Amino acid sequence: MRKFLSRYKIFLITFGTLCVVIMWSIYTLLKPDKKLAIYQPDMVNNELVDTTMQYVRKYHKIADFKLVNQNGDTITNVNYEDKIYVADFFFTTCMTICPIMTDHMVKIQERIKNDPDVFLLSHTVMPRIDTVAQLKRYAEEKGVIDSKWNLVTGNKKQIYDLARKSYLAAKSEGDGGKYDMVHTENFVLVDKDRQIRGFYDGTNAEAIEELMEDLKILKREYEE
């Protein structure tokens, strides 16, 4: 047996390696490509969803919007038509999670700045404080690229409705009339059809890497 193994050692190693390569190739060919989920309101924690939307199970899309960015320009859903984008909610004077979220959004901006299909959209939850001038100062301080990333303000009810009825990313303070909300750390990945394809912890570096990987997967959907 030893003589046999010695004589055919190279052949056996080569044959074994070839078998592994063939099996891996077959597995790769047969393995279906990963697809991102399409999130519906009934799939999300009820705390983050308006009561009128909590039982919606299909056809959910980001609603039309009309807001103003850091340059005083009107930004609507048309600006993001046929685009993939990452959205979040913040306010410029936040001293807890917002600075970390913004730093991570800056890193995402650096990685997608030359990608014509991917953009960023940050909504202030305190439009009374975050005027156009304040957003402009904040954008300059953080290195926002105007052509890639809009920081938007506007009517508080519209922002509240977007946060809780469209992006499913904020908690209501439940005061019944002022549309106060508590934004979360969530970054929301939105596809070209205005559907939610992922939620990511904007304060977690590992979650940001997951978001970047999911971006690649989502882009492949439009290449098929």
Which residue is listed with tokens 């070209």?
A: 192
Cα separations (Å) of 92 from 110, 125, 151, 193, 200?
Answer: 20, 9, 10, 29, 20
Indicate the angle between helix axes 205-221 and 98-112, nearest 10 degrees. Answer: 40
CA distance 96 to 149: 22
Other CB atoms within 10 A of residue 13 CB: 10
104 among annotated binding-site residues: no
Specify the DSSP class assigned to residue 99.
H
CB under 8 Å to 66, separation ≥6 — which residues?
Answer: 74, 75, 76, 154, 158
CA distance 190 to 76: 15
CB under 8 Å to 42, separation ≥6 — which residues?
Answer: 54, 55, 56, 57
60 among annotated binding-site residues: no
94 among annotated binding-site residues: yes
- Binding positions for Cu cation: 94, 98, 183
- Binding positions: 94, 98, 183
